[in-house]
Amino acid sequence: MSHILGLTGGIATGKSTASKFFKQEGFPVVDADYGARMVVEPGEPGLAAVKAYFGDDIVFPNGVLDRKKLGGIIFENPSEREKLNELLRQPIRDWLNKEKEKYIAEGHELIIMDVPLLFESKLEDQYDDIMVIYVSETLQLDRLMARDNLNSVDAFKRMTSQMSIERKANMADFVIDNSGSVEETHQQLAAWLGIFGYQPLK
């Protein structure tokens, strides 16, 4: 039976950094942000639903979703955010399940599911264990501003559009502290693999 690890955290706390480590070690990683992109590709019902609600101007003339514009709307406005979540919840869930089942069928012993909104979407029961990638809110704000070139007001709006990282850490089975160097984070992740006796597969 496969061990399904839900990997989550707050915006810019380091989920991709942890995912990259697991991939480098040879484990399969399913990325919900990637899935969220796939379900709004031109021709997908998810994009049609977004267009029907947010209007034709939410896509470029070539039919591709204007992510910056949509982000600008939903990170400003909680009711529009909830509406987007409602429109995409099921397509993203279906996409995640399809990917998970594919890896289970291939017989992988450990499958990592990188799902930013795992707790907000109440997906806890989908995973055997939940790992939260944690940094303090101050460091989270600094890293988010630096990575996305945002001012503190906009970065703070993005952070507070999600459940706080402190609350997520309290709900986790395992917490990885990503406040130090990337190398220190890798060591914690390698130690976690060691607890279960998983060997790098690469």
Ligand X SMILES: CC(C)(COP(=O)(O)OP(=O)(O)OC[C@H]1O[C@@H](n2cnc3c(N)ncnc32)[C@H](O)[C@@H]1O)[C@@H](O)C(=O)NCCC(=O)NCCS
Numbered residues of the known binding site for ATP: 12-17
Interface mask toward ligand ATP for 116-155; x: CB under 6 A = x--------------------------x---x--------
Residues with Cβ < 8 Å from 52, sequence gap 6 or more? none
* Cα–Cα distance for residue pair 3/42, rounded to 1 Å: 34
Amino acid at 159: M
* Cα–Cα distance for residue pair 164/168, rounded to 1 Å: 6
CB closer to ligand ATP out of 49 and 175: 175
Find where tokens 């502290």 sit.
Answer: 177
CB closer to ligand X out of 5 and 88: 88
The interface partner of residue 14, options being ligand X, ligand ATP, none and the CB cut-off 5 to 8 Å by kind, is: ligand ATP
Q: Which residues in 25-48 are b (16+ Cβ under 10 Å) and which e?
A: bebbbbbbeebbeebbeeebebbe
Two tokens at 48? Answer: 């049609």
Two tokens at 137? Answer: 């809110």
Interface mask toward ligand X for 117-156; x: CB under 6 A = x---------------------------------------
Q: Containing H/E element for 199?
A: none
CB closer to ligand X out of 115 and 155: 115
In whole angstroms, the minimum distance from the beta carbon of 143 to ligand ATP comes to 4
The interface partner of residue 6, options being ligand X, ligand ATP, none and the CB cut-off 5 to 8 Å by kind, is: none
Two tokens at 186? Answer: 């890798």
Asked if residue 71 binds ligand X (CB under 6 A), the reply is: yes
Residues with Cβ < 8 Å from 196, sequence gap 6 or more? 3, 110
Asked if residue 161 binds ligand X (CB under 6 A), the reply is: yes
**Contact set for ligand ATP, span 20-59 (CB under 6 A):** 33
Do 197 and 152 touch, CB atoms closer than 8 A? Answer: no
Q: What's 27's DSSP letter? A: -
CB closer to ligand X out of 70 and 139: 70
Candidate list 14, 28, 46, 91; residue touching ligand ATP; CB under 6 A: 14
Q: What's 68's DSSP letter? A: H
The span of 85-93, 127-135, 167-175, 181-189 binding ligand X (CB under 6 A) equals 85-93
Using CB under 6 A as the criterion, which residues of the chain lie in contact with ligand X when the complex forms?
11, 32-33, 36, 67, 70-71, 74, 81, 84-85, 88, 92, 115-117, 161-162
